Structure 1
Amino acid sequence: MRGHDLAALRRLNTIAVLRFLRSQGPGRPQSLSQLAAATGLSRPTVDQVVEELTAQGWLTEASEPASGRSGRPARRFRFRGEAGRVVGVDIGLHKVVLLLSDLAGDVTATEREEMDPDMGGAERLAFLRARIERFLDEQKVRPEELWALCVGVPGIVGETGRITSVIVPEWSDFELARRLGESFPCRILAENDVNLATLAEHWQGAAQLADDVVCLLIGHRSSCGVLLGGRLHRGHRGWAGELGLHRGLGLSHAHEVLGWRGERRAGESEVAALARAAGASDPDALEILDRYATRLAPGIGALLLAVDPELVVLSGGMTPAGEALTPLLTRQLRDVALDVPLHVPRITVSTLGEQGVALGAVRKALDSVEALLCDATGPLPSVPPSMNR
């Protein structure tokens, strides 16, 4: 074999070992024999790759050897998630949520701050940049330690990161990733917030066991994220799932029936009061939710007929009322098809709360780092010296 062929083969061997150890997580270190069996590589090859990756700072030997066996315990190795950091951000109209994670997906810090919904585009960008910088400074994250930053926004995001926003008009036709790249020397990604919520549900939420999923954002804004075959379906220009933009489906006006004039406890939001009343079988609250389900059903039913998912996840501002809304929505959906009842997949409610979008941003940032580490066309990037210990 020629020299460059051998180098490529060594890189592929390195990728195989690194990818498998990352998939196992820090809690499941692997012996050399286990790595050889999982990757199909020979024991000497695995030994060489592990030694190189350990010297580069990507692997470390497990501190506690396997127990229950006589003789010298096998050496076991794990991926060093602490070798770097990623940040996931959700910037909506009213709030910003930030999550800090290591490269193994372990979230180590969170922050939430309210925002002025009337903030202009330039002011919003400055606010976002300042909050990220403050967050990193408070967590003592040096610039070289940050591998990727992903921001979720309420708008259509193209493949290049260009935003089309109806929520923040000044951010329409705006390259957020490029502008943030002027301040943060790492991979910068921008993505639609509902798409990121869908990734989060598949990673750590209600859709972990499903691969064909519709994640429905419900509340003052209606939109959908679609997962097909375990992969996010964005569409050719990133418009997939944006049913709220279709005038004929009526999703953009569905929230208008959600007004609640019943009892509200001190400090209780309107949504929380409505959800509490519906949970107590209040007829007025259930009627409001039924009218809401009636307005949602045509658009969601059209998507179900087009995609035929195995699971629908309800997320967004109306999830507190999700348990009461689910049977009402199921009943309304069965009546949207012609001649025969529509098969309605299982509908469940997200348990990720308001961190769902930021958590999906963490997942997308981690995916971008994995793509970099597993790029067979170039050398393995080095762990920053400050993290290689």
Structure 2
Amino acid sequence: MAKYVFGVDIGGTTVKIGLFSVEGKLLDKWEITTRTDEGGKYILGDIAESVANKINEKNIDKSDVAGIGMGVPGPVKDDGTVIKCVNLGWGIFNVAEELGKLTGLPVKAGNDANMAALGEMWQGGGKGHDNIVMVTLGTGVGGGIIINGKMISGVNGAGGEIGHMTIDTEETECCNCGKKGCLEQYASATGIVRMAKIALNKSDRPSKLRDVQYISAKEIFDQAKTGDELAMELVDELGDKLGIALAQVSCVVDPEVFVIGGGVSKAGDILIDAVKKAYQKYAFHACRSTAFELATLGNDAGMYGGAYLATK
């Protein structure tokens, strides 16, 4: 019976790789550079080489490795086919099949946000639940949907892309995706900063945010915690927009728990309280008791999710 699995999380700058026991214990982790030059053609070869080196270093019999699970920053179909990964330079091809050929191991692949959700379900903030929605609040807004322990990828690998739900049909500025009024424009780190700049320009209301040279999401939450009225309103607006979005999500998948991760989640309870308050206002009555938890695995969540997928 296999003893080990590898979890791989491909980012635009580095690839995080973890060696796990099949029970979910992280035994070792390391990073390699993501070589995106020449259309990212070296990435999978570098991963294969790194995995092979670790197998040799640890004197692991290859037959004891169940496989590799890999998270990719872009849409991934259930069969492991990526539908263009702009940040990596990849077009459309089957990454699971290709890495399998290079390593001689079974490989499964999925979107990186879905992998993070799997990881949090397995060993993180969603542990003990088989039905979770993970929301990642960083530069953008990512999402991962897990139902009965399985990722919901969708036909085009875009399942869980909640950051591009239209929340405000009156919005005049464009999201990076080209649409207007996306959740990402309000609930991401860049989104709340955008809202802060708009609010500061619209009025001369007093706020400590006016004394900050470079406004960040952290600064906004820090000032809100001190009672700064404008900062508190900005946090409430983020909570309202995200609460509306998650209320709609709950009508479709009705999860046991929402797990909130990403850099913005470091704000902690003030964020969770704002989102939960809005969610309960907008949610269908049968879904109002859905739990909210902070993610606990940090940047390792994608590796954990990959490892989990490789055990299935």
Matched, 1:325 2:285: no
Residue 366 of structure 1 and its aligned partner are, at CA, apart by 1.6
Matched, 1:258 2:203: no
Out of 57, 78, 83, the residue aligned to residue 164 of structure 1 is: 83
Spell out the pairing of 1:333-344 with structure 2 (5 A cutoff). 333-336=279-282, 343=288
- Give me the whole-angstrom Cα distance separating, in 2, the residues matched to 1:312 and 1:119: 39
User: Rg bigger for which structure?
Assistant: 1
Asked if 1:195 corresponds to 2:114, the answer is: yes
Report how many aligned residue pairs link the two structures: 281
Counterparts of 2:238 and 2:43 in 1: how far apart (Å)? 32
Q: Which amino acid aligns with 1:92?
A: G
Task: Classify 1:183/1:290 alpha carbon distance in 2 versus 1 (closer, same or farther; 3 Å).
Answer: same
User: Is 1:210 aligned to residue 155 of structure 2?
Assistant: no
1:176 deviates by: 1.2
Aligned equivalents of 2:283 and 2:24: distance in 1? 42
1:166 to 1:178, Cα distance in 2 relative to 1, 3 A: closer
Q: Residue in 1 aligned with 2:303? A: 358
1:220 counterpart letter in structure 2:
T
SS at match of 1:89: strand
The answer on 1:309 being equivalent to 2:255 is yes
Q: Identity of counterpart residues, as a percentage?
A: 25
Matching residue of 1:52 = none
8 Å CA contact retained: 1:314, 1:322: no
Backbone CA RMSD of aligned residues? 3.4
Code of the residue aligned with 1:318 in structure 2: it is: V
Q: How big is the shift at 1:194?
A: 2.0
Matched, 1:345 2:279: no
The separation in 1 between residues aligned to 2:129 and 2:137, in whole angstroms, is 21
Shift of 1:185: 0.9
C-alpha distance in structure 2 between counterparts of 1:320 and 1:311, whole Å: 18
1:289 matched residue in structure 2: 235
1:186 to partner: Cα distance: 0.8
Alignment of 1:1-389 (within 5 A): 58=1, 84-112=3-31, 120-141=39-60, 143-165=62-84, 167-168=86-87, 170-246=89-165, 247=179, 250-254=182-186, 255=188, 256-259=190-193, 270=216, 276-281=222-227, 283=229, 285-336=231-282, 343=288, 345-367=290-312
| SS of equivalent residue, structure 2 residue 41 | helix
Q: Deviations over 1:159-206 (max 9, x none)?
A: 210012454363241221122123201101111122222222222222
Unaligned stretches of 5+ residues in structure 2: 166-178, 197-208
Write the deviation string for residues 73-103 of structure 1: whole angstroms up to 9, x where unpaired: xxxxxxxxxx542110111224322110233
AA at the equivalent of 1:297 = G
Greater Cα offset, 234-243 or 314-323:
234-243
Q: Which has the higher contact order (CA 8 A, sep 6+)?
A: 2
Instruction: Give the distance between the partners of 1:343 and 1:248, measured in 2 at CA.
Output: 28
Mapped partners of 1:332, 1:119: distance in 2: 46
- Retained in 2: the 8 A contact 1:335–1:342? no
Comparing 347-356 and 304-313, the one that deviates more: 304-313
Residue 236 (structure 1) shift = 4.6
| Matched residue type, 1:257 | G
